[in-house]
Amino acid sequence: MESEQQKRLRASRRAVIKLGTGIVTGGDGQFNAAHLEPVARTIARLKKEGRQIVLVSSGAVGLGRGRLGLHRDRLNDMVVRQACAAVGQSLLMHEYEKLFQAHGIDLAQVLLTEGDFVDRTRYSNLRQTMEALLKLGVLPIVNENDTVSTAELDYLNIRAGERIFSDNDRLAALVMSHIEADALVLLTDVDGLMQLGPSGSKEASAKVIPLVEEITAELKTLALGPSEGGRGGMLTKLAAAEIAMQAGGVAVIANGTKAETLGQIFEGEPVGTLFVPKTRMAGKRRWIAYAAGVRGRVIVNAGAREALTGGKASLLASGVTSVEGEFDAAEVVSIVDEEGLEFARGISDYSCGDAQGMIGNGSQGPEAGGRTSKRATVLVKRDNIVLMDRK
């Protein structure tokens, strides 16, 4: 019997589809038309059914490397990766133009950087542009602007929590959340999230986990390890699926090397691993939790942590023990406990300098003209705080 979530996929009107490097390119760094032609046919059919589709595509760096005849080891150099991206982006769009032209579908290239998510004005402009493209019947093809941005390319030096997106899985999820799509589909070269075999290894005969209702630490252990040709791997796909769930949508990880997969997903067939949504998080709160750049850290004492995790308290200056980093008022900060563990994020009402002064003045806050006010004790208002789920 078709599940409620599978019905939601079949009824979805707006979806973000992400194609991994293993789908877009072959081992020789060439465009893999054999994989992409059935994807294009299915997308054309979905659009004729009245659905709005956004395509997030990897593969530019790989195509550029293939065109330039470079060995894979050369991609360890950042500048070389950027050069490959510059060459590969035009090749990628040229191939997509040929594919979708046969179906009468107009394309738009949308190249994004972290600034398009961090800056609230640009974030809003991005939403308006995407809405206009979708209403015009255009298929947006999204990627990071790797030629000028190093966030996604710098996968050799990433430290947890410092990047908004360091892979196209997370980028796809952020776009899905931002345009409030119904579904996120991550097409890769494996059948889904696999259970461990009896020996503790991912055997060829291991079964796909068909349904995930909560992303736990145990699931993350199954997903460790990057993919061979791409930057992410299953762990980044779990992170992307979690964002989709928080946005109130469904997510699917499935094998895009099989011609029928994409069509089966939107027909409600049990394909790959299906992630069901949690309670939907409000748009501003999703921006704070996932899309905004963290500009600094606020370290709080045990009492403040307890008050915040209780669900109704604002962050008062009296609960702050120290402030780290450079940030202005209205920028997002990480809220951590005395052990250095992040448990929340929020929009600061004050700059780092003013916040530091409030701590030293016993929770007094600045007013115009340099005066202080004992009423201004709130560093981060409750409505601007999001608790982070750290499983």
In the chain, domain spans:
4-285, 293-387
Alpha-carbon dihedral of residues 210, 211, 215, 216, nearest 10 degrees? -70
Superfamily name and number for 4-285? Acetylglutamate kinase-like (3.40.1160.10)
Give the pLDDT of the chain (391 residues) as one tens digit per residue. Answer: 567 777 888 889 999 999 998 899 987 788 999 999 999 999 999 999 999 999 999 999 889 998 998 988 888 888 898 899 999 999 999 999 999 999 999 999 999 988 888 887 888 899 999 999 999 999 999 998 876 654 443 433 333 344 566 689 999 999 999 999 999 999 999 999 988 655 445 555 578 999 999 888 888 887 765 554 444 578 899 989 999 998 889 999 999 999 999 999 999 898 999 999 877 777 787 888 777 778 889 999 999 999 999 877 899 998 999 999 888 888 889 999 999 899 999 999 999 989 888 885 544 555 444 444 444 489 999 999 988 875 5
Integer Cα distance of 354 and 356 in angstroms: 5
The answer to whether the CB of 88 falls within 8 A of the CB of 29 is no
How do residues 214-243 score in pLDDT, each as one tens digit?
888 888 887 765 554 444 578 899 989 999
Integer Cα distance of 59 and 152 in angstroms: 13
Question: What are the Cα distances from residue 64, in Å, to 73, 156, 169?
Answer: 14, 19, 20
Q: Is 5 helix (H, G, I), strand (E, B) or coil?
A: helix
Domains 4-285 and 293-387 share a fold: no
Q: Compute the half-sphere exposure of residue 198: CA atoms within 13 Å on the CB side of its CA.
A: 1
Integer Cα distance of 266 and 8 in angstroms: 9
The answer to whether the CB of 272 falls within 8 A of the CB of 208 is yes
The pair of three-digit structure tokens given for residue 342, joined into one six-digit string: 């992040």
Phi, psi (deg, nearest 5) at residue 298:
-120, 120
Length, in residues, of the chain: 391
Helix (H) or strand (E) holding 63: helix 60-68
DSSP 8-state class, residue 312: S
Is beta strand 342-347 parallel, antiparallel or unpaired with respect to 332-336?
antiparallel
The answer to whether the CB of 349 falls within 8 A of the CB of 378 is yes
How do residues 238-262 score in pLDDT, each as one tens digit?
989 999 998 889 999 999 999 999 9
Integer Cα distance of 117 and 178 in angstroms: 9
Q: Is 142 helix (H, G, I), strand (E, B) or coil?
A: strand
Domain at 293-387: CATH code:
2.30.130.10
Integer Cα distance of 361 and 354 in angstroms: 10
Integer Cα distance of 161 and 154 in angstroms: 14
For residue 47, which of 176, 134, 142 has the smallest C-alpha distance? Answer: 134
Q: Compute the half-sphere exposure of residue 270: CA atoms within 13 Å on the CB side of its CA.
A: 9
The pair of three-digit structure tokens given for residue 227, joined into one six-digit string: 């993919």
Q: What does the pLDDT read at residue 44?
A: 97
Question: What are the Cα distances from residue 229, in Å, to 92, 155, 390?
Answer: 16, 13, 29
DSSP line for 332-374: EEEEE-TTS-EEEEEE-SS-HHHHHHHHHTTS-EE-GGG-EET
Q: What does the pLDDT read at residue 277?
A: 81
Is beta strand 365-366 parallel, antiparallel or unpaired with respect to 372-373?
antiparallel
